[in-house]
Structure 1
Amino acid sequence: MYRDRRLNLSIVNLLKAIMIILAIFMLIGFGASQTQVVYAQEDQALPTIYHIYLDDDYVGTIDDQSIVTNYIDERVEQVEQDADDGYTYGLKQELMFIPERVFNNQTNHDQILESLDEVIVIEVKATVLALGDQVVGYFANEDMVEQTLFDYKAKYVDEDILEQLEEQDTDEVELETGETKVLDVSLSEEVSLSGEVVAKDQLLSVEDGVELLEKGTLEELIHEVSEGDTLSSIAAAYDLTTETLLDLNDELDEDSLLQLEQELNVTDYVAFADVIVYEEELVEETISYQTEIEESEELYRGESETKQEGQDGEKEVHYAIERVNGEVSERETINEEIVKEAVDEIIVEGTKVIDSRGTGDFVWPAVGGYISSQYGPRWGSFHSGIDIARPSNRDILATDNGTVEKISYDANGYGHYIVINHNNGYKTLYAHLEQVDVSVGQTVPKGSKIGVMGTTGRSTGVHLHFEVSENGTTINPNHVLN
């Protein structure tokens, strides 16, 4: 039992000790909270200073921001007065103030201003023109940017039209026939303007800006080798030297053999933005007539005649047109109206087959005329045919069905002449022709035109020398002519 009492006393003493320790910790915590309240109250009375940074460079501290900003404003104003060039100036660096509360403020205003004077950079406030994600350049003001873009568009659209587009609404378009109207002019890239302070020599004039927009910017491109390409021809195509092309392609040297479809790195000027012109036009266009063919057994194969003359029609077409840098990139028909219908031409073509075998009945080989010289002895020689002169017209006719066997020229005799084989033992010859209207191998019907009478070869005047041969021997044409 004695041991149990001692154990109970030990437990009680342990609990008392724990209670005492907890009480001490609570007192310490309470004291700390009281101390924090005191510090917070004291902190509210501390002065604030400002750490000055220009971009990422530390300049010093100041207890009044206005001292620095006023000083910079005065310096900017002084630079503008001294320059007297019409530009607006500003601080190039980014000015930042970072506050801090301190126990002891020991800032020196004069020293800070001297430090600022050594490091601040004052240059021209510029308007930055960007097209898409490409910076084009820097201009003195927004008006110059607007004028530059206006003049660039005016390379492809008349200035008067651009000015009208700025002043009037073009939603409703009324066009006369033959009239074209511009509805809108835009750039292929979004225009964005921002501000930046830059050196004066970085500023662009309007003329410089337009020239830069026309020239574009250099970009890397890929050229695929095609048949006939050489290093020098590829370089010239992209306005490069061969040395520059080799520098752009490390795997090449002057002795490299190019392979078809091999890809080479090249550079070329790419426009900052294209000028896109949207317009509509109303034009009158011709509707070409169509030709219809009809067959007829009344005409020989190869012969034809016009049954109905064709006449073109007319239509008015309303187009919507898109031009990129002056070239038509898209043309869409909005509406078309037929003003006059076209009349088809009708041609009748013969299907009758020409019999190449003669009938044996010979027709007169000319249109009218008379025999000026007969068959037989003449001037100490033998005249193997008849001469026909003074025709009503100078057409020469095939005297019977047959096949053109020969077309030739004899300078000392027949001149231009034709021989027709009638495939029945007879052949006929037509000489002194001025014009031949058939070809060798052609089948000709009786009475069809084969040429024009003339005076070629050995001839005393315009006439037709006409011969008939039977089984290879000439005979008197008068015996067979009707």
Structure 2
Amino acid sequence: MRLSMKGFVKHLTVAGVVALGLSSQVAFADDEALSKVYHVYVDGEHVGIVENKDVVENHIAEKISGHQDENDFTYTVNEEIDYVTETVFSSKVDNQEVIDYLDEELTIAVEAQALEIGDEVVGYFAEKELAEQVIQEYKEKYVSADVLEKIDNDSEEESEPLSVGESHIIDVSLTEEVSIKDKKVSDDEILTVEEGITLLEKGTLENKKHVVDAGDVLGSIASQYDLSLDKLLELNEDLTEDSVIKIGDELNVTAYEPYVEVVVTEEKLDEEEIAYQTEVEESEDMYKGEEEVKQEGENGTVETHYRMEKVNGKTVDMEVLDENVTEEPTNKVIVKGTKVVSSRGSGELDWPAVGGSISSHVGERWGSYHKGIDIAGVSDRSILAADNGTVSSAGWDNGGYGNKIVIDHNNGYRTIYAHLSSIDVSSGQTVEKGQKIGVMGTTGFSTGIHLHFEVYKDGSLENPADHF
């Protein structure tokens, strides 16, 4: 029998039992002397006889009412109570004896709802609706209530076409089967909705393996899994506090794994850039090491339709359903020079300026010896390399030359270019005869814009004018 203050569910097995020998004497019996009694059985065990079932039921109702006042749970008794009816001439009942037994042996329980995930009971709830609310609110941690309702209502309808930047959740499911079953439990086992959600989030403790990575020590591994060092050593009997662990070692640990995970299937349409490619063209008209941009690159765009699967908020799978290129990319084109300049000069020097004439020769001048020639009156202030060679130095000179370039022609000749306003080459660079190396100026000890030009052969000064 299940009894509760919200309406007893009476499990009654009635069997009409007539005392042995009654059939042979019934013709002589006085009908008014017969009476009914009730044999009471608790979980199949005979515990006594009562004159009326109300004796038992009223007592149980009173026993339950003491608990009912404490909360709104639906109470019952754990045990199954059955009755067998017997019609007798003289009743031998002991109501008190049965009541005393029931007081001693009956236990009160809550008619609860067990929330089962897979084959495991997660917890017990006072009402089915509360267990369902736990699952609902657990899902709502990853999907809004509106979306869940829409999925339930529109399960047979096709989703509307996506616009760029939009996404639709098309399905929400759980990784394990969830069921809710009737169960009698003690009231201290009943969970609230909040406790149920916390339990689902925390999960259940399971054994796992930790693979040692760079920087791992026993203490950090224990902290990672909320274990004490002693507990970690207990799980790994071959280890001590002083053990040295190596990368790749496997340690036994315990970690909480969720009872169930929420799987969200989502589709989205994104517009993404298609990166342009870079093409390289070669040119014999440009020196090796030189390059120029022939065409700037521009990214294209593509609309990509994705289907994603998220488990407890983390994307675990992504599939491209469709792609539509809306704008093709424009490749960048770079031209690179292949022309190789010999660093060895021909020995024949060219005029190092664009036009102009010698304004001052080699020789004594103003009380000192002038080592080169000065060139002025040019139509273009570009300074040109007199022959192929390697730039030995390029920069400021504190000896009065100002901005100065020195070129070693790798054939015994060396030329110097001084008083430049700017320098276009750097030390170590190979230059070609006639290549612009700087701009004429008046830096250093100079009385006007001109080029001071010197020539050396095997270390000895020569008159540049002899070469033109």
TM-score (structure 1 length as normaliser): 0.72
Asked whether the equivalents of residues 297 and 350 of structure 1 are also in contact (C-alpha less than 8 Å), the reply is: yes
What residue in structure 1 maps to residue 41 of structure 2?
Answer: 51
Deviates most, 250-259 or 109-118: 250-259
What residue in structure 1 maps to residue 180 of structure 2?
Answer: 193
Asked whether the equivalents of residues 216 and 270 of structure 1 are also in contact (C-alpha less than 8 Å), the reply is: yes
Asked whether the equivalents of residues 394 and 425 of structure 2 are also in contact (C-alpha less than 8 Å), the reply is: no
Deviations 1:74-129 (A, max 9, x none): 2476246522x3332233x2425497999998553432233213332324333222
User: Cα distance 1:195–1:362, how it changes in 2: closer, same or farther (>3 A)?
Assistant: farther
1:11-26 superposed matches below 5 A = none
Note the C-alpha offset of 1:473.
3.6
- Aligned-CA RMSD value: 4.5
Q: Distance in 1 between matches of 2:291 and 2:23?
A: 120
Deviates most, 157-166 or 216-225: 157-166
What residue in structure 2 maps to residue 302 of structure 1?
Answer: 289
User: Cα distance 1:357–1:98, how it changes in 2: closer, same or farther (>3 A)?
Assistant: farther
What residue in structure 2 maps to residue 36 of structure 1?
Answer: none
Q: Distance in 2 between matches of 1:353 and 1:255?
A: 65
Picking from 267, 274, 278, the partner of 2:261 is: 274
User: Cα distance 1:260–1:341, how it changes in 2: closer, same or farther (>3 A)?
Assistant: closer
Note the C-alpha offset of 1:231.
2.3
Asked whether the equivalents of residues 288 and 312 of structure 1 are also in contact (C-alpha less than 8 Å), the reply is: yes
What residue in structure 2 maps to residue 255 of structure 1?
Answer: 242
User: Cα distance 1:261–1:289, how it changes in 2: closer, same or farther (>3 A)?
Assistant: closer
Asked whether the equivalents of residues 49 and 105 of structure 1 are also in contact (C-alpha less than 8 Å), the reply is: no
What residue in structure 1 maps to residue 94 of structure 2?
Answer: 108
What residue in structure 2 maps to residue 203 of structure 1?
Answer: 190
- Aligned with 1:250: secondary structure? coil
Q: Distance in 1 between matches of 2:403 and 2:174?
A: 70
User: Cα distance 1:477–1:207, how it changes in 2: closer, same or farther (>3 A)?
Assistant: farther
Q: Indicate the structure with greater helix content.
A: 1
Asked whether the equivalents of residues 415 and 453 of structure 2 are also in contact (C-alpha less than 8 Å), the reply is: yes
Note the C-alpha offset of 1:328.
1.8
1:143-158 superposed matches below 5 A = 143-158=129-144
Q: Distance in 2 between matches of 1:113 and 1:393?
A: 126
Note the C-alpha offset of 1:311.
2.3
What residue in structure 1 maps to residue 390 of structure 2?
Answer: 403
Deviations 1:433-458 (A, max 9, x none): 86765452x433345465789999x6
Asked whether the equivalents of residues 38 and 49 of structure 2 are also in contact (C-alpha less than 8 Å), the reply is: no
What residue in structure 1 maps to residue 75 of structure 2?
Answer: 89
Note the C-alpha offset of 1:291.
1.9
Asked whether the equivalents of residues 357 and 424 of structure 1 are also in contact (C-alpha less than 8 Å), the reply is: yes
Equivalent AA in structure 2 for residue 265 of structure 1? N
Asked whether the equivalents of residues 172 and 264 of structure 2 are also in contact (C-alpha less than 8 Å), the reply is: yes
Q: Distance in 1 between matches of 2:390 and 2:189?
A: 88
Asked whether the equivalents of residues 50 and 65 of structure 1 are also in contact (C-alpha less than 8 Å), the reply is: no
What residue in structure 1 maps to residue 318 of structure 2?
Answer: 331
Asked whether the equivalents of residues 391 and 407 of structure 2 are also in contact (C-alpha less than 8 Å), the reply is: yes
User: Cα distance 1:293–1:226, how it changes in 2: closer, same or farther (>3 A)?
Assistant: closer
What residue in structure 2 maps to residue 237 of structure 1?
Answer: 224
Q: What number of residue pairs does the alignment pair up?
A: 434
Equivalent AA in structure 1 for residue 80 of structure 2? L
Q: Distance in 1 between matches of 2:76 and 2:438?
A: 95
Note the C-alpha offset of 1:317.
0.7
Q: Distance in 2 between matches of 1:112 and 1:181?
A: 65
Note the C-alpha offset of 1:467.
4.2
User: Cα distance 1:327–1:50, how it changes in 2: closer, same or farther (>3 A)?
Assistant: same
User: Cα distance 1:295–1:252, how it changes in 2: closer, same or farther (>3 A)?
Assistant: closer
Q: Distance in 2 between matches of 1:392 and 1:42?
A: 150
Picking from 126, 132, 135, the partner of 2:121 is: 135
Q: Distance in 2 between matches of 1:363 and 1:74?
A: 124
Identical pairs, percent: 42
Deviates most, 311-320 or 406-415: 406-415
User: Cα distance 1:467–1:341, how it changes in 2: closer, same or farther (>3 A)?
Assistant: same
- Aligned with 1:330: secondary structure? strand
Picking from 260, 280, 301, the partner of 1:293 is: 280
